[in-house]
Structure 1
């Protein structure tokens, strides 16, 4: 862009020499050259400092990598590639036989567990009744045994030692049955008392497993997370899709406000403020100028971001990573919306300082846009 200013001045000086027939000699040529150096130098410094420009800008868009939550073989893929789709539309399906079978198996186990709870309640009632029965029989035999003992202590013992021993053994045997029945009753009660949120623990566990199985079954159908489109769909029926975050199978581009990300020199930071007027030109649209606003400056420089590693970290010296990133929001325009996401652009921001010099920047930006007709590399 500085070259355009110099060439413009050279053309203007040549026209002045020709129109006014100024003689070319050792005084006029150095005067024009030195005057151009001071004039152009001052204008370039004022313009570059107060109205920053960058050729490093891009129509940025946030992409969502699509990774299935479950693993399986792809059975069906959407045909709507690079076409707007609505939230919830199917992107692809996975074979669901294995996940359906697990749901049905857990459902069967759950029904069995619920039935077992009713069986346990019946067994509990039966155990209580049995305990009452054997306890009554034990009490009767105890009284019988006591009667034999009291008879043995009389002057005339009507019972033999054998009768007394049999009565004692019958009582002890019945007492053992009572203890066994009480233990069985306690065991059944402990199973019934293992309750979580009002339900038997095994039933709760199976319900949780069923919820997880139903969720996994539902995840065999992968849907659009929002309105947008998918691009470069490379999977086909028969492809294997794994639930690995590092292996997405599809890229989804959600609908979003179209923004321009521009990278400026660090010495432009004092003249970049949110709300400043901005203009953008695209390589793909020669001769067109698009207006917008600088919305914010990102609070970090890409080259200054570090992550914990197994080695000592040194300063980043990667070329092109030291610029300040700014976000430009363009005014609504159908031509901009029709451009492919990720396309490159050039941006100029106009501050309130030396506003009259911004006319030069605007003229130069339009000249840059016209040069795009020539397929020049920048």
Structure 2
């Protein structure tokens, strides 16, 4: 852009010399050259300082890598690739035979567990009745044993030692049956009293497993997380898709407000303020200029970010990476929306300082846009 200003001045000076027939000598030529250096240099310094420009700009979007939540073989893939797609539409489907089988098995196990609980309640009632029966029998045998003991203390003992011993053994055996029945009853009660949130723990566990299995079954159909489009679809029916976060199978671009990310020189921070007027031009749209506003300047420079490593970290001060990133929001325009995401362009920011100099920047930006007809690289 500086070259455009210099060439413009040279053209004007040449025109002045020709129109006014100014002789070219040792006074006029150095005066024109020196005047040009002062004038053009001053204008360039004022313009660059107060109205920053960058050729490093992109139409940027946030992309969502799509990774399946479960692992399986791809059964179907959407045909809407690089086309608008609605939230909830199918992106791809995995073979669900294994997941459906697990759901069916857990549903059967849950039904069995519910019936088992009913059966256990019946067993408890039976154990309670049995405890009552053996307890009554024990009490009867205890009375018999006490009667035998009382008779053995009489002057004339009508019972033999064997009768007394048999009565004692019968009582002790029945007492053991009572204790066994009580223990069985307590064991059954413990199973029924294992409750979580008012429901038997085994059933709660099966319901949780069934809910997880149903969730995994639903995840065999991967759906669009929102309105947008899907691109770089790298799977086909028969592909083995793994639930690994580092192995996405496609990229989803959600519908979002179109923004421009531009990288400016670090000293441009002196004049970059949120809300400043901005203009952008794109290589793909020669001769057109699009207005917008500077939204914010990112608080970090990519080259200055570090991560913990096993070795000492050196400076990431690479000249090509030096620069502050700014987000520019353009006014709604169907031509900009139709551009491929990630396309490059050039951006100028107009501050409130020396606003009359911004006219020159605007002219130069439009000249840059016209030069895009020539397929020149910037």
Quickly name the TM-score band, shorter chain normalised.
over 0.9
- How is 1:90-105 mapped onto 2 (pairs within 5 angstroms)? 90-105=90-105
Residue 42 of structure 2 is matched in structure 1 by 42
Q: Partners in 2 of 1:267 and 1:23 — Cα distance?
A: 43
2:45 equivalent to 1:72? no
Unaligned 5+ segments in structure 1 are none
The equivalent residue for 2:318 is 318
SS at match of 2:377: coil
Is residue 217 of structure 1 aligned with residue 217 of structure 2? yes
Q: Which residue of 2 aligns with 1:297?
A: 297
Partner of residue 277, structure 2: 277
Q: Shift in Å at residue 232 of structure 1?
A: 2.2
In 2, the alpha carbon distance for the partners of 1:154 and 1:297 equals: 112
Residue 21 of structure 2: aligned partner: 21
**Which structure 2 residues correspond to residues 1-378 of structure 1 after superposition, within 5 A?**
1-378=1-378
CA contact (8 A) 2:304 2:317 kept: no
Q: Give distance in 1, aligned partners of 2:222 and 2:320.
A: 38
Deviations 1:222-274 (A, max 9, x none): 00000000112221100110000000001000000000000000000010001
Cα distance in 1 between the residues matched to 2:82 and 2:294: 30
Q: CA deviation at 1:320?
A: 2.3
Deviation at 1:115, TM superposition (A): 1.0
Deviations 1:270-304 (A, max 9, x none): 10001000000000011000000001111111111
What CA RMSD, in Å, does the superposition of the two structures yield over aligned residues?
0.6
Please give the TM-score of this superposition, normalised by the length of structure 1.
0.99
Q: Deviations over 1:319-365 (max 9, x none)?
A: 32221000000011110011000000000000000000000000000
Quote how far apart the aligned CAs of 1:116 are: 1.0
Q: Count residues with an aligned counterpart.
A: 378
**Distance (Å, rounded) in 2 between the aligned partners of 1:52 and 1:222:** 45
Paired with 1:132 and 1:90, the residues of 2 have a C-alpha distance of 64
What is the alpha-carbon distance in structure 1 between the residues aligned to residue 319 and residue 239 of structure 2? 40
Alpha-carbon distance in 1 for matches of 2:137, 2:234: 80
Supply the distance in 2 between the matched residues of 1:310 and 1:185 (Cα, whole angstroms).
62
CA–CA separation in structure 1 for the residues paired with 2:233 and 2:210: 33
Structure 1 residues 72-126: Cα deviation after superposition (integer angstroms, max 9, x where no partner): 0000000011110100000000000000000011111111111111111111111
Task: Report the alpha carbon displacement of residue 162 of structure 1 after superposing the two structures with TM.
Answer: 1.1
C-alpha deviation, 1:314, in angstroms: 1.3
2-structure distance, mates of 1:205, 1:318: 57
- The 3-state SS of whatever aligns with 2:279 is strand
Over residues 193-235 of structure 1, what are the superposed CA-to-partner deviations in whole Å (9 max), with x where a residue is unaligned?
1111011111111100000000000000000000000112221
Give the Cα–Cα distance (whole angstroms) in 1 for the partners of residues 137 and 113 of structure 2: 35
Deviations 1:144-178 (A, max 9, x none): 00000101111111111111111111101100000
Measured in 2, the distance between the counterparts of 1:270 and 1:57 equals: 19
CA distance in 2, matches of 1:338, 1:355: 32
